[in-house]
Amino acid sequence: MRTLPGAGPAGPRRYERGWSDRALRKRLERARRSDWDFTRGRIFGSLCTEPAPAGRAWIDPFRNANLGNPGLCPGSSLLQEELVEELLTLYHAPREGAGGWLVSGATEANVTALWTFRNLTGGREVVLPRSAHFSFVKALDLLGLEARWVRVDAAGRMDVRQARRAIGRRTAALVGLAGSTELGAVDPLEELSELALRTGVPLHVDAAIGGFFLPFLPEEERRRLPFDFSLPGVRSLASDPHKLGRAPIPSGVLLFRNLEETRAIEVPSPYLSDPRSRGLLGTRPSFAVASTFAALRSAGWEGLREQTRRLRGLVERLLEGGKRLGLEPVTDPRLNVVAFRHPDPRVLQAELLERGWDVSLVQEPRALRLVLMPHARRSTVEGLLRELARALARHPRGRGGEEGRINPEKPPDRGSARRSGRGSSGRRSAAG
Ligand code: 0PR
């Protein structure tokens, strides 16, 4: 991390004297107010949401426990075991040998899965769809692995034939998506599983988006979209309770068909209660386990089934309303992501942002991307459609007409709509 100018002894030393509670409250409340609030329901560009109240309630009581040293928190460890057990059952893992643990999110899960399979196989390449999340680019860079990118079809699904050709002696893993970030596309995982079995290559499924949606579809549809350990070639799976599971951030889960395979990434940790450590993090917040447990346990799978039904209703309404405005959906969505083609979606995004609505973009093909998360309501979807109608009336074909171009150098100023107007010193934190 770079050293920030002014942070050294010659800097303003604003942290020298401790603040009163009142001063702290004033400063932090101002920051909080300028952050976007999911409860207003106007956020359609994010995969995060307002956590379930039951989940929020258990953050503080578990704030000090560290799951990185499980001997000191047997209660939290037991909660994690029970949670993992239940998720293994949800994802049809075999009774014997399967296991996993809670992580900070699908980024950590994807990195750890590829780390495991690199060490296990000695392979140097990963075969993955062009639609894969940028966390895989980080993973490949960290692990010194090379990407064999595979094209996706018009519906955003990985081309299995090209994947087959990309697999070779140097392959460490094959990656499939149960919900792509941009379109919510589900890759042909049944065929990828067969390919994995035939070639002996481990298949890792990134179900960050689909993991708390697909299992809760009506039975018949669920069977048409298999994505989990019910497919015998699937060796590991990433799922994200902090997205559609409504657990507080940070909460991801990484599961393996055969937990023994993670010995490939085991290191000694002799002075801790568990003398062997597997996984990326050392200190890990127990509150993430407790609050995920509470969020999922309070909803129950029946609650998530109901949530899925409701979100699908909103997807239908959005599709219908968008089509009535003359917008063409990029795909027939399987999950909770709707994308509408537009020659210059960036200008629509900027218009909506100006009026306090958060939406995002698809780069290829050019489209406006709308995500229906649990904080979305019928009234906010109707409100969004009205704003969209106004924005389209002003920019029917985008600013540059049919040739309107997305300029990746100039993203819209996402802070402008609600910025407090103060506190910008010109410096940025590393994650900016
Ligand atoms: N896999 C898929 C399919 C995802 O959509 C995401 C997150 C991840 C993995 C990574 O999950 P974590 O962010 O929980 O580690 N996708 C969101 C997105 O890219 C979340 C997000 C948004 C992350 C903005 C970073 C960010 O700067 O939209």
Q: Can you tell me whether residue 336 is helix, strand or coil?
A: coil
Supply the pLDDT for residue 272: 82
Q: How far apart are CA 226 and CA 91, in angstroms?
A: 10
Q: What is the mean pLDDT of each run of 10 residues along the chain (432 residues)?
A: 54 84 97 92 94 95 92 95 98 97 98 98 98 98 98 97 98 98 98 98 98 97 97 98 98 98 95 87 96 98 98 98 97 97 96 96 95 97 97 77 38 42 45 42
| CA of 181 relative to ligand 1 center, distance in Å | 7
Q: Can you tell me whether residue 253 is helix, strand or coil?
A: strand
Q: Which DSSP string do the residues of 144-189 spell out, in sequence order?
A: T-EEEEE-B-TTS-B-HHHHHHH--TTEEEEEEEBS-TTT--B--H
Q: Provide the 10 A C-beta neighbour count for residue 403.
A: 10
Rounded-to-5 percentages of helix, strand, coil across the chain: 40, 15, 45
Q: Can you tell me whether residue 126 is helix, strand or coil?
A: strand
Would you say 361 and 406 are in contact if contact means Cβ atoms under 8 Å apart? yes
Q: Can you tell me whether residue 203 is helix, strand or coil?
A: strand
Measured torsion, CA atoms of residues 400, 134, 230, 338, in degrees rounded to the nearest 10: -20
Q: Which residues pair with 339 in a beta bridge?
A: 369
Would you say 36 and 43 are in contact if contact means Cβ atoms under 8 Å apart? yes
Residue range 55-297+422-429, CATH number: 3.40.640.10
Supply the pLDDT for residue 2: 54
Q: Is the CB of 208 under 6 A from ligand 1?
A: yes
Supply the pLDDT for residue 369: 98
Would you say 203 and 193 are in contact if contact means Cβ atoms under 8 Å apart? yes
| Alpha helices, DSSP H, located in 41-159 | 53-57, 74-90, 106-121, 134-143
Q: Is the CB of 181 under 6 A from ligand 1?
A: yes
Q: Is the CB of 209 under 6 A from ligand 1?
A: yes
What is the CA angle 58-61-64, rounded to 5? 120
Would you say 160 and 191 are in contact if contact means Cβ atoms under 8 Å apart? yes
For a mutational test of ligand 1's pocket, the pick from 35, 135, 205, 292, i.e. the residue with the most ligand atoms closer than 8 A to its C-beta, is 135
Which atom in ligand 1 lies closest to the alpha carbon of residue 243? Answer: 14
Supply the pLDDT for residue 396: 77
What are the sequence ranges of the domains in the chain? Answer: 55-297+422-429, 301-404
| CA of 21 relative to ligand 1 center, distance in Å | 35
Range 301-404: architecture per CATH: Alpha-Beta Complex (3.90)
Residue nearest to atom 8 of ligand 1 (CA): 106
| CA of 147 relative to ligand 1 center, distance in Å | 19
Q: Is the CB of 135 under 6 A from ligand 1?
A: yes
Supply the pLDDT for residue 398: 61
Q: Is the CB of 105 under 6 A from ligand 1?
A: yes
Using CA atoms, how far residue 312 sits from 170, 324, 383, in Å, is 41, 18, 18
Supply the pLDDT for residue 403: 37
Q: Which DSSP string do the residues of 357-424 spell out, in sequence order?
A: -B-EEETTTTEEEEE--TT--HHHHHHHHHHHHHHHHH-TT-TTGGG----TT----TTTTT--S---
Supply the pLDDT for residue 412: 43
Using CA atoms, how far residue 380 sits from 318, 360, 375, 384, 402, in Å, is 11, 16, 9, 6, 30
Q: How far apart are CA 186 and CA 178, in angstroms?
A: 5
Q: How far apart are the first and last CA of the chain?
A: 12
**Closest residue by Cα to residue 83 from 242, 253, 204:** 253
**Closest residue by Cα to residue 177 from 144, 213, 206, 153:** 206
Q: Is the CB of 291 under 6 A from ligand 1?
A: no
Would you say 42 and 356 are in contact if contact means Cβ atoms under 8 Å apart? yes
Supply the pLDDT for residue 9: 56
Please state the φ and ψ torsions of residue 257, each to the nearest 5 degrees. Answer: -60, -40
| CA of 249 relative to ligand 1 center, distance in Å | 12
pTM: 0.91
Supply the pLDDT for residue 341: 97
